[in-house]
Amino acid sequence: MTDTEHRPSNFIRQIIDKDLASGKHTAIKTRFPPEPNGFLHIGHAKSIVLNFGIAEDYQGTCNLRFDDTNPLKEKVDYVESIKKDVAWLGYDWDGEPKYSSNYFDQLHAYAVELIEKGLAYVDFSSQEQMREMRGTLKEPGTNSPYRDTAVEENLKHFADMTAGKYEEGKAALRAKIDMSSPFMCMRDPVIYRVRFAHHHQTGDKWCVYPMYDFTHCISDALEGITHSLCTLEFQDNRRLYDWVLDNISIDCHPQQIEFSRLNLQYAVMSKRIINTLVEEGKVTGWDDPRVPSVAGLRRRGYTPASIREFCRRIGVTKMDNQVEMGMLEA
């Protein structure tokens, strides 16, 4: 990528500048972590330009990591499409593409560590019971009857989960945090669940899979990411991100920073809705020129440089805003 346009400062770059000036970091490492459960759209392009652009501007590196913790929805075809789109936009990731599944052994070991510290427990409540126990935004949650199970029993139960002795939905590993927290994500979230499904990377090795919030922060730390940039819907989850890293034996603690996602007027950005349109034959596929996917924009004749420039022009803020399609046309 050889663009040399002036890149205005924003609050994320100000944080990075401060970290470099203070000596907190001497090199910057970011990542773009899509889940391979669909094709990339213009909203992903904003994240790509931000993460890879920051790495370039600070002579750092950016990983391409596939957050592949849900084998039921993920496909190798999506992996290959995402790699193609990132390369087409003009970016080179550091080394080989990474996969969260590369770290399943370490993630499992960290889950065991939390159990040993009395910070995680196996819950046999149903999903409906867990929802009821979570409480509401106005009412605190209630403790699970399994919350105070002895460490030794929890270790055995988790080993049995791993060995496939429980059916899906019959047991889950939960972090033991605070059922009265004002943040719902901190009310003993599930961090591992049973799932009998073939995984595109690990095959049939595992029948327990870590949840995204448990996986993401540890994957960042294992890769030495300095600044973990994500959209605003993960703002509350930053507390869980930090809690996990504070309570396991790991040296690196990346900083999660949130920014507003791209909301494009008069454009469908939801993977679920676009998939429905494809299935119903309303559009010919994800590369239909009417779809605001990277592949669709490519077919409409947009160049990588024009998309990168559009993503830079809309800027990076914490304020949700609607961007007119005309800005992309300009």
pLDDT digits (tens, 9 = 90+) for 258-270: 999 988 887 888 8
pLDDT of 1 strictly over 90: no
Beta-strand pair 98-99/61-66: parallel
Stated pTM of the model:
0.94
Amino acid at 319: M
* 16 token code pair: 């990075």
d(CA 323, CA 52): 22
> What's the pLDDT score for residue 211?
98
- Assess whether pLDDT exceeds 90 at residue 322: no
Can you list the domains of the chain with their CATH numbers?
11-20+27-102+214-268+289-295+303-329 (3.40.50.620), 104-212 (3.90.800.10)
Least confident of 40-44, 51-55, 160-164: 40-44
Q: Is the pLDDT of residue 2 over 50?
A: no
How far apart CA 27 and CA 31 sit, in angstroms, is: 14
**Average pLDDT of the chain?**
95
Which residues form the catalytic set? 35, 261, 271
| Inter-helix orientation angle 42-57/304-314, to 10° | 80
Cβ neighbour number for residue 270 with a 10 Å cutoff: 12
What residue spans of 163-283 are helical by DSSP H?
Answer: 212-222, 238-246, 271-279
Q: What is the pLDDT of residues 189-238, one digit of tens each?
A: 999 999 999 999 999 999 999 999 999 999 999 999 999 999 999 999 99
Contact assessment for residue 246 and residue 119, using Cβ atoms and an 8 Å cutoff: no
